[in-house]
Structure formats: structure tokens, C-alpha cells
Chains A and B, each alone.
Chain A
């Protein structure tokens, strides 16, 4: 049972390591998805660019916070 739980935990861990990064990415994708539904006239490049830039900003902010948190702990 313990092994099964460990395997399941590690399977979830394949996708979620830092919960805040995963949550922020999912929320951003939902916002872009809602935008595509609400404004179907949005240009394809606009939707794609918004999705990409949002993901990049989230990643950069996350690594910045992680670096600050680690450096403060040392």
C-alpha cells in the first residue's frame, strides 16, 4: 500500500513540483481560453502570443521567487 501511494505521489510529481507554478499556468490558460470564447474575433497571433507571453512571465517570476527564497534560507 505504501509503495502504491509512493508511486501515485511520484506520478503527480511528474507534473506538479512547485504548486504555485502549476496553478498559475493553469489559471493563465483558463483566462486565455475564456478570452478566445468571449472575443472570437481575436487574431490567432494575438491569442497565441498572449498564451506564450503569460507562460514565460509566470516562469520568470517563479524562478525569481524561488531564487530569492533559497538565498534567504542560506
Chain B
């Protein structure tokens, strides 16, 4: 396994997981701060247990799916997933959509949690536990999907992609413990843009493989696809901001 094969998978898994872990950490921090750490950590642990069960149950099942069908399904899912991220990052980069604000999410989640009635069952607060559980499970499913999908190219890619995601998790948890507040300074939109570019490129590559297209240069073509998606994303920001400005001018002129 060469670095050219390994680097895109590890980078995509690291960056995408970093963003997902930051989002989960914001909610867990809000739950822990407002309703207590016991419930927050119980919800987190339950979600991690469900995730492990899902991965252990579905992982071996995936090995039974024929290669080409798996490539097509994974490719299409990656394409939809990556393009969704890239579209949002483009619209945010162009100022059409508001930027994702971890501080605002933390404040809003904290306010909601304060409004909910405090109850206790089996030593934990059900509202707080479910909130932490839901957030960690949803972000964790995204991480698991990304790791499995970007490693679909070969058995040797999975440990690297998993290590990338684990490193991102450790960094986010470490930072959250140290600063004890939402990681609002993380350039989330830039990360999402980069992840959108990488995942979309993987999506095009695997969809093509699944459709029976043989890419020239094989794995090397993935780098060309990443470059093409980067250019497309930057062009998208210009298209979106120019369109928004043109419409705004026309509305003012009326």
C-alpha cells in the first residue's frame, strides 16, 4: 500500500471525523454542563455501544456483497454525502447561508435543556441521556460510514482510515476536556469544504468503478478527481456569490 493510495483515505477520514466529533462534543458539553456529566457520559457510552454493535454486525455482511455492487452503492452514497457537504460549504463560503456556529448551538441546546423538567430514572436524567445518545449516535454513524466508505478501495485501507478517525476523536475529546467549552474556533466551513471535495472525489471514483468505468492511471486518477472537485468547489463559491449579488442589485433597482 503506497502513500498515494493511503493518503486520500486517511485525510478524508481524519477531516470528516474531526468535524463530526466537534459537533457531537458541543451537544455532550451542553448536556454535561446543564444536566450533569453522569447523564451526558451515560448517553455517550450507550451510543458508542450501539455503534460498535452496528459496525460489528454490518462489517462482515458487507464482505459478502459482490465487489462491483458494493463499489456502486458506496460510490453513490459517497457522492450524495460529499456533494451535500460541498454544496453547503459553497453556499456558506459565498455568504448565502449563515456559517455553522458552535457557540450558538451550545447556547440554544443549553437553553432547551434548562427548560426540560428534571427527572431521574435508574440514576440518570432521561432527557439528558437521550440528547447525548442521539447526538453521539448520529455523528458516530457518519464517522463509521465515512471510514468504511473511504476504505472501500482495499482491505489495507481500513486500518489507516480508522486510525485517522480515531486520531480526530482523541484530539477533539482532548481539546474539549482542556477548554471545557464548544470548539468554536475550529474553521468548520473550511474543513467541511475540504471534506466535501475529498468525499465527492471518492464518490465519483467509486461510482465510476461500480458502473464499469476503468479510470486511466487507476488510483492516481483519484488525485486528479480531488483537484477537479477543488476547482469546481471554488468556482461554485464564485457562481453563488455572483448570482446572489446580481439578484440583490436587481431587487434594489426595483
Residues of A within 8 A of B (CB): 3, 6-7, 10-11, 14-18, 21-22, 25-26, 29, 32-33, 36-37, 44-45, 47-48, 51-52, 55-56, 59-60, 62-64, 66-68, 70-72, 74
Contact = CB atoms under 8 A, between A and B. Distances in A.
Contact of B248 (A7, A21, A74): A74
> Which of A55, A67, A70 gathers most chain B CB within 10 Å?
A67
Contacts of A15: 77, 80-81, 84
A17 B84 contact: yes
Per CB-CB distance, the 8 closest pairs between chain A and chain B, nearest first, are A71-B247, A67-B240, A67-B243, A15-B80, A47-B213, A44-B214, A71-B244, A56-B232
A36 B211 contact: yes
Contacts, number: 128
B21 to A, nearest CB: 16
15 contacts: A3-B134, A14-B142, A15-B77, A22-B84, A33-B212, A55-B204, A59-B232, A63-B240, A66-B240, A67-B240, A67-B247, A70-B91, A70-B97, A70-B244, A74-B248
B212 A7 contact: no
B22 interface: no
A36 B210 CA distance: 11
A52 B79 contact: no
Given A7-B134, A44-B216, A71-B244, A14 B81 contact: yes
Contacts of B87: 17-18, 21, 59, 62-63, 66
Interface range on chain B (Cβ under 8 Å from partner): 35 or more
Nearest to A18: B87
B207 A29 contact: yes
Chain B binding surface, main DSSP class = helix
Contacts of B235: 60
A55 B200 contact: yes
A11 B54 CA distance: 14
B175 interface: no
A56 B203 CA distance: 12
B69 interface: no
Contact of A51 (B130, B142, B145, B207): B207
B80 A67 contact: no
A72 B208 CA distance: 37
